[in-house]
């Protein structure tokens, strides 16, 4: 069954999520929790990872404390984990296709924003380990710069505002359900790249679901009268963008 929807829009910019979308944060988080929960006599269950993916750090900590019935508050648990995670950020690898995508968009002059539920400080620390990433983004937003994190659309609305773009011309690429929900609520087109296995069926609100950033077929762009590179979404089972074309639809 195809998830494609009839569309005919020109997209002028791309807003990317960070954790799980561009970098494999989930692997590091699971490794840390697997070790740390032993302190409480608990065993990490990877099947519960969906409870924390796409959440703010506090929300994720609160979910773990609740699910595993830990004898600490969410604030205390987060305080324990923060220094541990800080030592791990340099070892987080880019997701397959992330460097290719960022380099392609930058070389074609496409405005790119980064919008993450992580704090601005953590976002900048994480991307500092990936050459060329920081200077590729016109806007970098952390979850602590808005009142409400994803699934609220606030961070995406703010990203569009700082890019000076209409929300209807923004393309969002996300790995989590809260992120997809936020992007759609902001009035944007959203491509989902689920970071957890066997989760594609829950992303029904996304405009398209792909398995990997490598599934994006990158093409040369065309420009409008203001010399901005455009993304052309055509009404078909396989959307086509001049500089960002989905190579295949897993639901076809």
Whole-structure pTM value: 0.80
Per residue in 75-111, pLDDT (tens digit) is: 999 999 999 988 888 889 999 999 999 998 898 888 9
CA distance 213 to 111: 18
Catalytic residue positions, numbered: 17, 19
Q: How confident is the model at residue 54 (pLDDT cuts 50, 70, 90)?
A: confident
Q: How confident is the model at residue 162 (pLDDT cuts 50, 70, 90)?
A: very high
Per residue in 103-158, pLDDT (tens digit) is: 988 988 889 999 999 999 999 999 999 999 999 999 999 999 999 999 999 999 99
Percentage of residues in the chain with pLDDT exceeding 90?
Answer: 55
Per residue in 230-242, pLDDT (tens digit) is: 444 332 333 434 5
Please name the helix (run of DSSP H) or strand (run of DSSP E) that holds residue 13, with its range, or none.
strand 13-16
| pLDDT reading at 6 higher than 90 | no
Reported as half-sphere exposure (CB side, CA atoms, 13 A), residue 217 has a value of 10
Q: How far is CA 179 from CA 2, 60, 68, 155, 212, in A?
A: 22, 14, 25, 10, 16
| pLDDT reading at 23 higher than 90 | yes
């Amino acid at each position: 069954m195809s998830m494609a929807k009839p569309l005919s829009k020109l997209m002028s910019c791309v807003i990317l999520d960070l954790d799980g979308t561009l970098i494999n944060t989930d692997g590091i988080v699971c490794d840390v929790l697997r070790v740390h929960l032993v302190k409480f006599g608990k065993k990490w269950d990877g099947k519960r990872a969906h409870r924390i993916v796409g959440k703010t750090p506090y929300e994720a900590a609160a979910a773990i404390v609740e699910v595993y019935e830990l004898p600490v508050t969410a604030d205390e648990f987060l305080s324990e984990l923060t220094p541990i995670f800080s030592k791990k950020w340099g070892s987080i690898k880019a997701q397959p296709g992330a460097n290719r995508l960022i380099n392609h968009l930058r070389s074609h002059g496409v405005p790119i924003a980064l919008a993450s539920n992580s704090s601005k400080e953590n976002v900048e620390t994480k991307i500092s380990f990936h050459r060329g990433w920081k200077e590729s983004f016109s806007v970098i937003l952390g979850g602590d710069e808005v009142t409400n994190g994803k699934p609220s659309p606030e961070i995406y609305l703010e990203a569009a505002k700082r890019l000076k773009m209409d929300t209807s011309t923004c393309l969002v690429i996300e790995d989590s359900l809260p992120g997809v929900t936020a992007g759609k609520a902001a009035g944007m087109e959203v491509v989902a790249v689920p970071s957890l296995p066997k989760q594609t069926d829950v992303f029904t609100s996304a405009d398209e679901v792909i398995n990997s950033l490598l599934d994006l077929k990158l093409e040369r762009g065309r420009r409008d009268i203001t010399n901005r590179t455009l993304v052309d979404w055509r009404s078909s089972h396989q959307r086509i963008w001049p500089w960002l074309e989905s190579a295949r639809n897993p639901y076809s």
